[in-house]
Structure 1
Amino acid sequence: MIKDWPEHERPREKLLHQGANSLSDAELLAIFLRTGVKGCHVVDLARQLLQQFGSISAIFAADRFSFCQKQGLGLAKFVQLQACLEMSKRYLAEQLPEQTALTSSVATRNYLIAELRAEHNEFFAALLLDSQHQIIGFERLFSGTLDSATIYPRVVVELALKQQAAAVILCHNHPSGVAEPSVADQQITQRLIDALRLIEVKVLDHIIVAQHQSYSFAEHGKL
């Protein structure tokens, strides 16, 4: 029983005294689970789940059926986890700076990573900004296997005009986990820069999300 452990080893007490970043993945998951199952305390259950899924990210990305069929989980915990994930996304969105350029912003990257890292398919999206680089909105535009034939500049241009955007940050994810841009990624970026330039909308960056990693076209001088 965890209540019989020394206080400094119990996940909740450890978090309160040392901070959340001092906890292992299993200890964080144990706090979320709250209780174990018969013959298995909650920390061991958390370790088993991490081994079965492979990582915390994989648990977050699991569909309802895959999640609920595991011992110690279920529909209530699936709903609770989805609510926690959505709150995290909204928190990160609120942390985006409102008055400064966002090309190298850690907050922007964290927000885009939270939005796209768990997706199994590729998504192409745009973060729309006004003339002061305040955020207007975030829109997912295309999905599937993305190449120069499946990204339509006209759609991006129409969105920018509709939202009266003055600048955009383009983004898409690589489910493979490799953040480096392909030749097709570079071609798509240039086509969109050229198309948006015609309506005087500036592309500030194109960020590729690959799980917890990201790649910035602007920081690598590719814009």
Structure 2
Amino acid sequence: MENQKIPINFWSEDDRPREKLLTKGKTALTDAELLAILINSGNRNESAVDLCRRILQDNGNSLPELARLSEKQLMTYKGIGEAKALSIVAALELGQRRRMREVTVSQKITCSKDVFEMMQPRVGELSHEEFWVILLSNANRVRKIVKSRDMLIEERFNSQKVIDTLNISKGGMTGTVLDLRILFKLALEYQATAVILVHNHPSGKLKPSHADIQLTKKVVEAGKIMDIVILDHFIITEFDYFSFADNGLI
């Protein structure tokens, strides 16, 4: 015989997610309780909290893992229809976008952790490898992020001091290739005095490959000719990073 669920409205007020949010604040709620507010109801055998707790457990109790699920994957859970699945996907995407914007507006890069916090939301959770560059001013300040070449062209006329993060190369699971001509063309167009290279390792391994090291050396030497300093090269994973400069490789 299946266990009969106890509806949330029969719980004590201190345990009900909505009431708990109102009386104790958002930080008092667990991830499962916050998700339960989004979906509002569970299924015949589980309350909204129990259902969300199970969904999280199936995904390692990790919100980044949960964010990788599509609405169709979420809908495989009994009690999660299209509307609830879309609510979860939208909420997690909003959280990701907020994080991306908070760490980039007029940010000055002062240490390697700054770069990790800026770029991890963009590449740390990708299933494919991407190569990015950060163009910097004399003060190492990032002024704007541009996600595509088309947007870059449109933004060119908006400011004489545009310092952007530019997605200039995209690869597959096994690697990516950086076009040095594009890199330095962009650096010259935006009068950048320094560059930071960034790419992700979907495998989660932080150790740079031989190809990573050789590419870095090649870019550094080309930068000397162009009088543009290559400050660092970062390998970003979901939870950590490797800095070539911190490890004496630049």
TM-score (norm 1): 0.80
Deviations 1:50-75 (A, max 9, x none): 23334322221123433344434344
2:153 is aligned with 1:164: no
1:203 and 2:230 equivalent? yes
**Contact residue 103 and residue 205 of structure 1 kept, 8 A:** no
Aligned residue among 99, 104, 111 for 1:103? 111
Distance (whole Å) between structure 2 residues aligned to residue 73 and residue 14 of structure 1: 23
Give the Cα–Cα distance (whole angstroms) in 2 for the partners of residues 171 and 4 of structure 1. Answer: 52
* Aligned residue identity for 1:94: E
Looking at CA atoms only, which structure, 1 or 2, has the larger radius of gyration?
A: 2
Matched, 1:112 2:119: yes
Query: Counterparts in 2 of 1:18-29, with a 5 A limit?
Result: 19-20=26-27, 22-29=28-35
Q: Extract structure 1 runs of 4+ deviating beyond 6 A.
A: none
Match in the other structure for 2:102 = 94
Q: For the Cα contact (< 8 Å) 1:103–1:218, is it kept in 2?
A: no
Give the distance between the partners of 2:42 and 2:198, measured in 1 at CA: 40
Superposed displacement of residue 188, structure 1:
2.1
2:203 partner amino acid: S
Shift of 1:176: 1.4
Between 31-40 and 168-177, report the one with greater CA deviation.
31-40
* Aligned counterparts of 2:85 and 2:186: Cα–Cα separation in 1: 34
- Measure how far apart 1:86 and its partner are: 4.4
* Cα shift at 1:12: 4.3
Aligned to 1:214: 241
Deviation, 1:119, is: 1.0
Does the aligned pair in 2 maintain the 1:118–1:211 contact within 8 Å? Answer: yes
Matched with 2:133 is: 126
The percent of aligned pairs where both chains have the same amino acid is 33
Cα 1:33–1:201 shift into 2, 3 Å: farther
- Count of aligned pairs between the two proteins: 219
The 1:130–1:48 alpha-carbon spacing in structure 2 relative to 1, beyond 3 Å, is same
**3-state SS of 2:112 partner:** coil
Change (3 A) 1:195 1:90: farther
Name the amino acid aligned to 1:88.
Q
* 1:185 maps to which of 188, 192, 212: 212
Q: How does 1:60-79 map to 2 (within 5 A)?
A: 60-79=67-86
Unaligned runs of 5+ in 2: 1-6, 143-162
Question: Do the aligned partners of residues 152 and 52 (structure 1) sit closer, same or farther apart at CA in structure 2, a change above 3 Å counting?
Answer: same
Note the C-alpha offset of 1:3.
Answer: 3.1
Write the letter of the residue equivalent to 2:16. R
TM-score (norm 2): 0.73
Aligned residue number for residue 38 of structure 1:
44
Q: Which amino acid aligns with 1:160?
A: A
Report the counterpart of residue 6 of structure 1 in structure 2.
12
Native 8 Å contact 1:168 1:203 kept in 2? yes
* Counterpart residue type for residue 101 of structure 1: I
Aligned CA distance change for structure 1 residues 12 and 143 (closer, same or farther; 3 Å): farther
C-alpha distance in structure 2 between counterparts of 1:153 and 1:87, whole Å: 34
CA RMSD of aligned residues (A): 2.8
Structure 1 stretch displaced more, 161-170 or 121-130: 161-170
Gaps of 5+ in 1: none
Q: Quote how far apart the aligned CAs of 1:120 are.
A: 0.8
